[in-house]
Amino acid sequence: MKSTFEIVMATAELFHRFSSELPCKYMQEVFGKDDEVLAEKCLQYPKNSPSALYYLIFNLTYDERKALAKYINKRNPKF
């Protein structure tokens, strides 16, 4: 099981990726599907306030949240 720090670092890396790359390029990798609406949600995240992370997570479907958690859990943060 990962430590809280490792989970936070992997999450931070993913959300940095949202702000530095086009999400449509990695929707399949993160969520297991290509979804233009979801990619747009991810693209809008960095443009909004810090509370946008909370908004994004709670506006995902159950399956999208589950896929996101699975992706974050398997990431090995580089710190």
pLDDT of res. 62: 92
Cβ(18)–Cβ(42) below 8 Å: yes
Task: Write out pLDDT tens, residues 3-57.
Answer: 888 888 888 788 778 777 787 788 888 888 888 888 888 877 766 666 777 777 8
Q: Which tokens hold the place of 27?
A: 């929707």
Say what the pTM is: 0.70
- C-alpha 34/C-alpha 12 separation (Å) is 22
